[in-house]
Amino acid sequence: MNFPVTTRRPLEGEHFQVVVIGGGINGVAIARECARAGRRTLLVEQHDFAAGSTSRSTRMIHGGLRYLEHGEIGLVRESLRERQRLLRQRPHLVHPVNFLLALDSRSRRSALSIRAGLWLYRGLGGKPLGANGSKADEYKLERVLDSGRRWSLFSFEDAQCEFPERLVAEWLMEAVAAGAVVRNHTQVLAVDVFHGRAKGVLLHDRLSGKEDRVEANWIINATGPWVDRVCQRSRINTGRPMLGGVRGSHLVLPRFAGAPDSAVYTEATDGRPIFVIPWNDQVLVGTTEIPDNGDPAKVEPSTQETEYLLRSLLHLFPRARVSLHDIRYSFAGVRPLPFSPKSRPSEVSRKHYLHDHTSEGAAHMISVIGGKLTTAAELARQCVDKLGLRPRTSAGLATAPEENLDALLDGWVAEIADAGGIGAGSAQAIVEWHGGRSLAIAATAASSAKMRAPLCPHTQHIVAEAVDAFTHQCAVSLADVLLRRVPVALGGCWSETCSRDAAMRVGTVMGWSEHEAAVELEGLEMERTAFLRKPARIDLMLKAAAD
């Protein structure tokens, strides 16, 4: 059975009430809210949904403990409220995580101020999340910390979304179900402005090469670090930049001896906060804060950032046998922070705001400045409110009380395993990543042994998931699937051999020719290599932080 990808119809001459430019988590959230409010909505993304800053984040859903230092209590309260909402509505994707805050005697932050901040943070966050933390975690961490320094340990709860790409995919499907038209791999060449008002956009479909012009009542520029570039191409003069890009880089390493089970929030070698987080059966270390106003599509970690993060890790875990050669890959993204040339990156507010371009001769156009994973849904509600629409409350996925959630998920896994004729491991993997679409994927899996085959020998995820991504989740390339819809290519096991196996197995059921399969494989490897960087060789040998 072959599953050809649906040809996309041209959009030339169509009229939309809202056009949203940018398919990161903010843009997708806004398009979903507009469509659910009954407005004919078009969402366009120049690459693939969630391929930009969304997929290059620290993958946390948190209130921002550090924001309390800058007095941004309102932002922390908003973030914690949204954290609770995501934990309740997306329990398969957003999980409580126990954090250990580790500070040595040289920290400029006093134990008293930390305790006060944590007391306030817990108070703003409401009832405990249920993260699995204990004194045993603190004891384990104490044993592996640098014994030459005196450490203070504090525990608190937060949350993690290991794969925000999957959260975006779910919101995207909800937007489509509400009537939104979505186009990835489609660039906005310019916003059309006539007589002081934004009237539409000129689109370039990168798959077909065709250009379409569509009309719109409202245009939302939610392109993250590309916000100023959209205005420049459209000759909308904002007077000064709206954004000041800040690069954040991360390292991904294998779990090393002594690696904590809890997430660790600590200070880097220069006193900046960084995280060491269990992620995807690996360890995620980040992040940096480097001003970066270059091309966001070409951002990558610098050699200096790689060395900085590795030194900071060894400062915390000096007995960890970790070197440059152990880094599986690194990645970087640009945070779209408000333009603040006189402030250090760490001091720039993480609040989002909506910039109305009326005074610049482009009424009915709004640019989204700032934003983060945690508050994307709230930003979307504020946006539709600004458009004069009535935002609707999202329906929750989990309706059982929290104490019954594990039992609910276990029953769900058993149902999926039975419906798909697959093992419990694959059923659980499907439920954890696909939530409400799990039963439909199980039905596809039941149709043939080829659908039930693993995408590579090291994973429980199966070909049926890739087919569903092509047919129902707006994926148009193998890279879209394996890096974002079914992101197995982010795993520690993944190699060129895995990519070849997946291309062959997916291509067989999708009906690809040998040439088509080769093109998809090449595209996947090119994009994966550009995104997930192997660190360049550093001539200066990295030493333990104590040296």
- Same domain flag for 435 and 518: yes
Read off the CATH number of the domain in which 194 is found: 3.50.50.60
Q: What is the CATH number of the domain that holds 256?
A: 3.30.9.10
Residue 80 placed within a domain: no
Give the tens place of pLDDT for each residue, 446-481: 999 999 999 999 999 999 999 999 999 999 999 999
Specify the pLDDT at position 538.
46
What is the DSSP track for 44-92? E-SS-TT-SGGGGS--EE---GGGGGGT-HHHHHHHHHHHHHHHHH-TT
66 in any annotated domain = no
CB atoms within 10 A of CB 7: 8
Question: 154 lies in a domain?
Answer: yes
What's the rounded Cα separation, in Å, for the pair 515 and 240? 48
| Each residue's pLDDT tens digit, 501-519 | 999 999 999 999 999 999 9
Structure tokens that stand for 257 in this block: 């001896």
For residue 266, what are the domain limits?
95-159+245-339
CATH of the domain at 439: 1.10.8.870
Note whether 290 and 305 are within 8 A (CB). yes
Tell me, yes or no, whether 3 lies in a domain: no
Assigned domain for 497 exists: yes
Do 294 and 227 share a structural domain? no
- Is the same domain home to 311 and 363? no
Q: What is the mean pLDDT of residues 256-262?
A: 86
Alpha-carbon distance 527 to 331, whole Å? 12
Residue of 343, 347, 291, 287 lying closest to 72 (CA atoms) = 347
- Write out pLDDT tens, residues 405-430: 666 777 889 999 999 999 999 999 99
Q: Name the 3-class secondary structure at 529.
A: helix
Q: Encoding tokens for residue 210?
A: 């065709």
CA angle 300, 304, 307 (to 5 degrees): 105
Residue 124 has pLDDT above 90, yes or no: no
Beta-carbon count within 10 A of 317 CB: 23
265 and 155 both lie in a single domain: yes
Domain co-membership, 196 together with 252: no
Say if 147 falls within a structural domain: yes
Burial of 440 (0-12, 13-18, 19+ CB in 10 A): middle
Strands (E), 390-511: none
- Are 367 and 227 in the same domain? yes
Model-level pTM? 0.93
Q: Which residues contact 174 (CB under 8 A, 6 or more apart)?
A: 32, 36
Is there a single domain that holds both residue 291 and residue 376? no
Residues 520 and 424 in one domain: yes
Nearest to 51 by CA among 521, 477, 493: 477
* Residue 492 covered by a domain: yes
Cα dihedral value 370, 59, 70, 101, nearest 10: 180
| Residues 379 and 502 occupy one common structural domain | no
Q: What pLDDT digit, counting tens, does each position of 347-378 carry? A: 777 789 999 999 999 999 999 999 999 999 99
* Per-residue pLDDT, 109: 80
**Does a structural domain hold residue 123?**
yes
Q: How many domains does the chain have?
A: 3
**pLDDT band for position 169 (50/70/90)?**
very high
Element at 201 (helix H, strand E): strand 197-205
Q: Are residues 267 and 380 in the same domain?
A: no
User: Same structural domain for residues 323 and 262?
Assistant: yes
User: Do 414 and 497 have their domain in common?
Assistant: yes
